[in-house]
Amino acid sequence: MIRKKAIKVLCLITILHLICQHSQEALAQAPVNFDTAVTQFFSGSVFRTLGVIIHKTDDDNRAFNRRLTIKKVPLVFGYAPMSDVAVAISVPWIEKSQRNNLSGRRVTLDVAGLGDATLLGRWTFKKWLGHWRRTDMAIIGGVELPTGDTNRRDEGIRLPPELQLGSGSFDPFLRMAFSRVVKRKSIFAELQYKVNTPGALDFKFGDVLEYDLATTYRLFPAVKYPNPEFYGILELNGVWEQQARQRGRDVENTGSHTIFLSPGIQVIPLKNLLLEASVQIPIYQDLRGRQLGYEVGDLGDSNIVFGFRFSY
C-alpha cells in the first residue's frame, strides 16, 4: 500500500513539473557518476537519463558459478528555481538477471520493473566567483522511497533481497559537494552517507558511504562558447557498504569496499543538450565473505554508464 501511494505521488509531481516548466538554459560541465556543488543547468528545468550496465561474478565458488547482470535506466527530473537551489526526482527502471548452477542445471532468475525512487534537494551555500573561475560548496540531502517491488518470485519461491527491485524501506542520505573551475580545468569532490532502514522481511541493507573525486578538462574549444564543447573526464569512485542485518542479526557474506577508476567524456553539442559516457573500472575490492563482486582490473567486469541531460 505504501509503495503504491508513493508511486502515485511521484507521478503527480512529475506531471505538474513537466507542465509548469518551459525555460531553456545552458548546461555546465559536471562529473558523470556523482553530483556536483554546481547546479549544472543554472535555472529552469532539466531531464536526465543514464543507462547503467553492471556485471558481477562469483569466481570463488565454481560450484554455483553465479553471474549477475544489472541494467538501470534512472529517469531524473530536476528543477532549479534559482542558481543556488535545485530539487530533483529520480525514478529508475531496473532489470536484474542472475545465472547460477542448481542441481546440475543452469538456472536464470530474471526481474524487471520500477525500482526505488529518490527525492533530493541541493543548496549551494558558498561560492566564490572570479574571472574565468568559480568555487562552490553545496549540501545535498534526500531520501530513497520504497516504490520498488519487494515480493518478486520465481516458480513460487521468493527471490532474495538483493534480487528484488526495491528494499521496502525509507533510506535518507546526506552529501557534501565541492567544485572548482578554472578556465578549461575543473575539480569536483563529494562525500555521501546513506542510512538504510529495515524494509521487507525486516531485512536492512548495510549503510553506504560513497566518496568521489573527479577532474575534467575542456578539450574543445580553447575559449568557452560558442558550442559545441568537448570534455575529457577522470573520476575516482569509492563505495563502502556496511554488513546487512536481518531481525537484529548480521547477515553473512555481506559488506564490501570497492574503488573504481572511471574515465569518461562529455559533449555539449547545443546549449541545452549534454551527452556523456563513462567506464567504471574496478581497481580495488574487499568483500566480506563469499559474494558476488568484480574482477579487479578486468575491463570485462567494468560498469558502463552513458546518457544525456536536456534542459528546457
Predicted confidence (pLDDT) per residue in 254-273, tens digit: 999 999 999 999 999 988 89
pTM of the model: 0.88
Which of 10-14, 94-98, 102-106 has the least mean pLDDT?
Answer: 10-14
Q: 12 falls in which pLDDT band (50, 70, 90)?
A: very low
Statement: residue 303 has pLDDT above 70: yes
pLDDT of residue 132: 82
Q: Is it the case that residue 154 has pLDDT exceeding 60?
A: yes
- Distance CA(162)–CA(174), nearest Å, equals 23
Note the pLDDT tens digit of each residue in 183-232.
Answer: 899 999 999 999 999 999 999 999 999 999 999 999 988 886 667 899 99
Which pLDDT belongs to residue 266? 95
Between 58 and 265, the more confident residue is 265
Taken in order of first residue, the domains within the chain and their CATH numbers are 2-311 (2.40.160.40)
Cell of 243: 554488513
203, β-bridge pairs: 246
What's the CA gap between 282 and 297, in Å, rounded? Answer: 6
pLDDT at residue 157 above 50?
A: yes
**pLDDT of 299 strictly over 90:** no
Q: Tell me: pLDDT of 29 over 90.
A: no
Arithmetic mean of pLDDT over the chain: 87
Per-residue pLDDT band at 17 (split at 50, 70, 90): very low
In the chain, % of residues over pLDDT 90? 64
The pLDDT tens digits for 161-187 are 999 999 999 999 999 999 999 989 999
